Amino acid sequence: MTDWKAVAVGFVVILVIGTGGLSIPILGQIGAGLIGGFAAGYLVGGTLGNGAWNGLVAGSLSGIAVTLLAAVLGGLVGLAGGPLGSLLGGVGVFAVGIVLTLIFAIDSAIAGAVGAWVKG
C-alpha cells in the first residue's frame, strides 16, 4: 500500500536536492533520487518491498514533474526557431526526461528498500 505522506516527503526531497544538484549534472540527480527514495522508504518502514514501492513512486512522480517542466521550457526556447523548432525542442527534452524519470525511479526504489531496512 502506498503511504502518500512518505511519497510526498520523498518527492519534495528529490525536487529540492535535484534543483541544487543541477550544478553537478548526473551525480546531483542520482544523489537526489537516492536521498529522496531513502527518505520515503525510511518514513514508511515495513518490508523491503514496501520501502522500494514508496521510493519508486516518489522517484517516478518527481521524474514526471521535472520532465513536464523541462519539456515546456524546451518548447518555449525552441519557439525561437519557429513552430517546428518548438516541437522538436519540446519532444527532444521530453525523450531525455523519460530517461531521467527511469533513473529517478530505479535509484529511488533501491534507496527506499534500504531506508525501510534501516528503520526495520
pTM of the model: 0.84
- Compute the distance between CA of residue 58 and CA of residue 89 in angstroms, rounded to an integer: 27
Spatial separation of the C-alpha atoms in residues 89 and 73, rounded to whole Å? 9
Rounded Cα distance, 50 and 85, in Å: 43
Whether the per-residue pLDDT at 52 is higher than 90: the answer is: yes
What confidence tier does 11 reach under pLDDT thresholds 50, 70, 90? very high
Question: pLDDT band at residue 83, thresholds of 50, 70 and 90?
Answer: confident
Domain borders along the chain are 4-119
Q: Which three cell numbers stand for residue 94?
A: 521530453
Within 13 Å and on the Cβ side, how many CA atoms surround 96? 11
Work out the average pLDDT over 37-57: 95
88, three cell numbers: 522538436
What pLDDT does residue 35 have?
94
